[in-house]
Structure 1
Amino acid sequence: MHLHLDEEITFRRLEILLAFMETGNLTRAAEMLEISSVSVHRALHGLETGLRCALFRHEGRNLHPTEAAQALADVAREVLRTMSEGVRSTREVAGYSADRIRIGSLYSLTDRTVPKLVMGMKIRKPDIQTELVLGSNADLLQKLRDGAIDAVLMGTPENAADVESQPLFEDDIFFAAPVGSRYGGMDEIDLAVCANERFVTLSEGFVTYAGFVDAFRVAGFTPNVVMKTGDIFSLMNLVGGGVGYTLLPGRVGGIMPQKVQLVPLQKKYLMRQTISLNFLRTRERDPNLLALLSVCRSLSAELG
């Protein structure tokens, strides 16, 4: 079925009609919509032209709505309400300017970075609900591309031309050992002397795991990994329990168990992570993401 409306009948003119019906006056309708009285009059006349019937009676300079105008106003309210809901739901499906924002994050960023980011968003957009999704770099990047999350806090992805990244801070990797171990009193550690030690690590896909692999590649041996885990808090507890040593980013220093300590690595093993806010370039004009980006820039300056 082919539906056709005269081009004189537009959503904007229907909005103007409703404003006029509510105020009963050209001047007050114009003030409500922040346009001129002439624009209101032209819009109402345009509707009459498109409908090919009179909507108003002229009494001097005043316009009085007819029953036809009332009938059109009743329909206009429903049409505009339906269209407004359609725009909202379409944007939600696309993830654009919805009433919520889904942020992915590494577990290690939930201590300070994520709370500050969420509070910053609450200040800028108090009506926006924030959802948090935790995972590894690889999992979160895939969720971002699948549209399951809107933005992600993680290590800056390599070779990702479809992703826009806003750096937040850089973080060095440290040697993690139980308090009281023979490595605890060292000023720095040469991984080459740890060839006979047991290690625990995060699963593949985490940015810290990639740094772990790179560091031991420099050391010239494959570490004896006795256990892998999917979150950094479990990893720290494994170290504290004496299961094995590991490498951890400096940002976890404030949330580590008391029985775990971080020791600097020798400079040749220096592995630096760049943590950033990442989102798809196709979403770079999304108002919610622009607000989040602004919060991240402020947070980056604060983190220094």
Structure 2
Amino acid sequence: MRIRIGEEITFRKLEALLAFMESGNLAKAAEILETSTVSVHRALHSLEEGTSCALFRHEGRNLIPTDAAHVLADTAREVLKAMADGIRATREAAGYLADRLKIGSLYSLTAHTVPRIVIDLKARRPELHTELVLGSNADLLQMLKQGSIDATLMATPEPDPEIESIPLFEDEIFFAAPADSPYAAMPAVDLRTCRDEPFVSLSEGFATSRGFVEAFRIADFQPKLVMKVGDIFSLMNLVGGGVGYTLLPGRVKGVSPRNVAFVPLTADYDNIRQTIALSFLRRRERDPNLLALAAVCRMAMRQGQ
């Protein structure tokens, strides 16, 4: 037989019962629940209607719990604990752990941005365990939608109703050349003068690869591509070793090899920029861990990434 419980019995009212039983009076129960004494009194009276029995007797202005009230309170503790455990287990099954946060990131952000954010997040929420997952923009976006990661630091994705993105900073794209290259001494480089040069690039799916393609669309020629790699640090080493030229975001300038020069592009390529953002699923925008992460990211960006 299916068990049916009257609509008068709710978790909130059971919480009011426990607060009253443990505090001993309406005023203190209301303070615990951050509500009014009238609301607590109504909740207790509603529980009497829902159980169809007297839970309290009046002695002057005081409410005295009956044996029935104590029985219901014991049951309420078990029910509320079971529900809290059930919600926690549900979140764990969905990959949302209250004390764990899995953050995705582009390789290029691990030089400065990610360490600062992780340190500040640890200071704000010391009980939170963070895990870092690295990948391309395309990989990170897929993992985010699948729930494999909780949030990601990457170039702003295309508009998507499922994704919330908080812009953090904009990054300029530079022409990268060996330090002893003739291009290294130029004030700015127009890619149109590089038609016969060899180039190396990141694989498809990386934000920098997308900018690379767009820049050569503006230059109106297909570059002579000699190699593609899967991370930006290998790409910089290839440039330094003289394998080919490439385009790199300014954020890696401080960690690039000494034999790699970063040269600005001419004004024709001013629109080839990257906006780095914190992205997460919109349905989780009230998650306390993500709210803390967003606050830390905003603070770090105000101080300079």
TM range (shorter): 0.7 to 0.9
Q: Using the TM superposition, name which of 116-125 and 270-279 deviates more.
A: 116-125
The offset of 1:286, in angstroms, is 4.0
Q: Using the TM superposition, name which of 251-260 and 157-166 deviates more.
A: 157-166
1-structure distance, mates of 2:275, 2:39 = 54
Q: Map of 1:41-190 to 2, 5 A cutoff?
A: 41-91=41-91, 98-190=98-190
47 and 138 in structure 1: CA distance in 2 versus 1, 3 angstrom threshold: same
Q: Using the TM superposition, name which of 47-56 and 255-264 deviates more.
A: 47-56
2-structure distance, mates of 1:53, 1:133 = 57
SS at match of 1:175: strand
Query: What letter matches 1:264 in structure 2?
Result: P
Contact 1:167 1:300 (8 Å CA) reproduced: no
SS at match of 1:303: coil
Query: What letter matches 1:137 in structure 2?
Result: N
Q: Using the TM superposition, name which of 203-212 and 259-268 deviates more.
A: 259-268
Q: Using the TM superposition, name which of 149-158 and 116-125 deviates more.
A: 116-125
Count residues with an aligned counterpart. 304
Aligned twin of 2:227: 227
Identical pairs, percent: 65
Consecutive unaligned residues of structure 1, counting only runs of 5 or more, are none
The offset of 1:18, in angstroms, is 1.6
The offset of 1:110, in angstroms, is 1.5
2-structure distance, mates of 1:95, 1:287 = 15
Q: Using the TM superposition, name which of 130-139 and 76-85 deviates more.
A: 130-139
Measured on the aligned residues, the alpha-carbon RMSD in Å equals 2.8
Aligned twin of 1:272: 273
Q: Deviations over 1:35-78 (max 9, x none)?
A: 44444344333322221223345444444434332222221111
162 and 71 in structure 1: CA distance in 2 versus 1, 3 angstrom threshold: closer
2-structure distance, mates of 1:194, 1:256 = 22
- The yes-or-no answer on 1:258 pairing with 2:280 is no
Q: Deviations over 1:70-103 (max 9, x none)?
A: 2222211110011122333445556779443332
The offset of 1:256, in angstroms, is 0.8
Contact 1:96 1:288 (8 Å CA) reproduced: no
Q: Using the TM superposition, name which of 228-237 and 64-73 deviates more.
A: 64-73
Query: What letter matches 2:29 in structure 1?
Result: A
The offset of 1:262, in angstroms, is 1.2
TM-score under structure 2 normalisation?
0.85
Aligned twin of 1:195: 195
Q: Using the TM superposition, name which of 133-142 and 68-77 deviates more.
A: 68-77
TM-score under structure 1 normalisation?
0.85
Aligned twin of 2:33: 33
2-structure distance, mates of 1:34, 1:155 = 42
2-structure distance, mates of 1:27, 1:280 = 41
The offset of 1:281, in angstroms, is 3.7
Query: What letter matches 2:51 in structure 1?
Result: L
Query: What letter matches 2:218 in structure 1?
Result: V
SS at match of 1:247: strand
The offset of 1:235, in angstroms, is 1.3
68 and 238 in structure 1: CA distance in 2 versus 1, 3 angstrom threshold: same
1-structure distance, mates of 2:293, 2:218 = 38
Aligned twin of 1:10: 10
2-structure distance, mates of 1:89, 1:285 = 19
Q: Using the TM superposition, name which of 161-170 and 108-117 deviates more.
A: 161-170
SS at match of 1:4: coil
159 and 80 in structure 1: CA distance in 2 versus 1, 3 angstrom threshold: closer
2-structure distance, mates of 1:132, 1:105 = 7
Q: Using the TM superposition, name which of 161-170 and 12-21 deviates more.
A: 161-170
